[in-house]
Each structure stands twice: as C-alpha cells, then as structure tokens.
Amino acid sequence: MLESTVESGKILLAEPFMLDPNFKRSAVLLCDHSKEDGSVGFILNKPLQTKIDELIDEFPAFDAEVYFGGPVQVDTVHYLHTAGRLLEDSIEVSKGVYWGGDFEKLKFLVAQELIRPNQIRFFVGYSGWSEGQLDDEMNYGSWVVANMDVNYLFQSEAATLWQLIMENKGNTYSVIAQVPEDISWN
C-alpha cells in the first residue's frame, strides 16, 4: 500500500539505490498526473551550469540557472515560477508554484524586472511516464512520495535537496536520507 497518494503537486524522491543515472537521488515535482494519460514532472535538483539567456536567443539578460528536467524531449524548455496570474496560461501545480504560461509575456516581465531569478526555474526536457508506468514504478518501490514546499524550489540548494526532503518526511526516511550515495563508503 502506498504511504502517500501520487498526484499533481507532489514530489517523487528516487529511492536511494536507483541506478538510472537520469534519476539517481532526484527530487521530481509531479506537475500533471493522470492514470489514463500518464504523468509529467521536472527534476528539481540537477543544474546544468548554464543560464537561460545563454540558452535561448533573444531572451533578456537574466541570471537564472537552467536545470535538467528529465530525459524526455530535451530540445524543449519549461519553467516553474511564482508569478501566478502575472503570467497568463500558467497552471498552479502546488501552493504558490506555477507551471508554464505565455512565453512572450514571460520575456516582457523579465525585461521589466517584474520576475526575478529567485521566482522562476527553467528546465531542459521533462520527466514523463506513460499510462500506468508510474504506478508500476511505485509498486516496485522506485519512488517515495513527499509533499511539495515552494522553498524546495526557490530557497534550497540542489546538491542537498533530495536529502533535505527525505529528512523532512521524518521517521525511517530520516535514516534513509543518511545513506551514502555510494554504498561502498559505508
């Protein structure tokens, strides 16, 4: 039985020994989840060491780092933000966290300094699961479900995010958070 319900707005934490290099020690914010249509999310803790204005021509000067969102469609850019109603067509996925919205309006808001780097995160690609795939992975024990907090996205360090969220779950998860990334370090 699942400890917590898988739904949009939750975080999926990779179990500590997941071998898939795309998801090893990852924290994925699930932005869309449907048993019939599959799921979409973004890895929150894999920075790419590039800025959005270096990646996209004609983007205003903006000191916002880009992250690896997942292995699906790595030729696309997505964004999570706190701008809410300022950015038409954005979808609230968790309290205070919005996904997407009008890209031209985004560029305007950035140029006018109405959106700052600490209010938005950009992703190359996304994490996706086909119908039933995520449920299968949950039954196999590949993921731990956690609640989202806006601070995880905009106030936490990527290098320690997986461990922080795992610790915040408490109980056994606090112990799991201390498991070294390479078991040979034990």
Query: How long is the chain?
Result: 186
Domain for residue 3, yes or no?
A: no
Q: Please, what is the end-to-end C-alpha distance for the chain in angstroms?
A: 30
> What pTM, to 2 d.p., does this model score?
0.92
Q: Which residue, 169, 122, 120, is CA-closest to 12? A: 169
| pLDDT tier at 4, thresholds 50, 70, 90 | low
Comparing 4 with 158, the larger pLDDT belongs to: 158
Across the chain, what does the average pLDDT equal? Answer: 91
Domain for residue 18, yes or no?
A: yes
Kind plus residue range of the DSSP H or E element containing 107: helix 103-111
- The residue segments making up the domain with residue 58 are 10-177
Does 103 score more than 70 pLDDT? yes
Domain for residue 183, yes or no?
A: no
Domain for residue 66, yes or no?
A: yes
Residue pair 32/8 in contact by the 8 Å Cβ criterion: yes
**Interval 121-159: pLDDT, tens:** 999 999 999 998 998 999 998 999 999 999 999 999 999
Measured CA to CA, the distance from residue 67 to residue 125 in angstroms comes to 9
Residue pair 143/12 in contact by the 8 Å Cβ criterion: yes
Measured CA to CA, the distance from residue 9 to residue 146 in angstroms comes to 9
Domain for residue 16, yes or no?
A: yes
Number of domains in the chain: 1
Kind plus residue range of the DSSP H or E element containing 178: none
Q: Which has the minimum average pLDDT: 103-107, 108-112, 138-142?
A: 138-142
Domain for residue 184, yes or no?
A: no
| pLDDT tier at 183, thresholds 50, 70, 90 | low
**Interval 36-85: pLDDT, tens:** 889 999 999 999 999 999 999 999 999 999 999 999 999 999 999 999 98
Q: Which residue, 99, 101, 77, is CA-closest to 88? A: 101
CATH number at residue 49: 3.40.1740.10
The token pair at 145 is 């479900």
Domain for residue 5, yes or no?
A: no
The percent of residues in the chain predicted with pLDDT above 90, rounded, is 79
Measured CA to CA, the distance from residue 102 to residue 110 in angstroms comes to 12
Calculate Rg over the CA atoms of the chain: 17
Domain for residue 123, yes or no?
A: yes
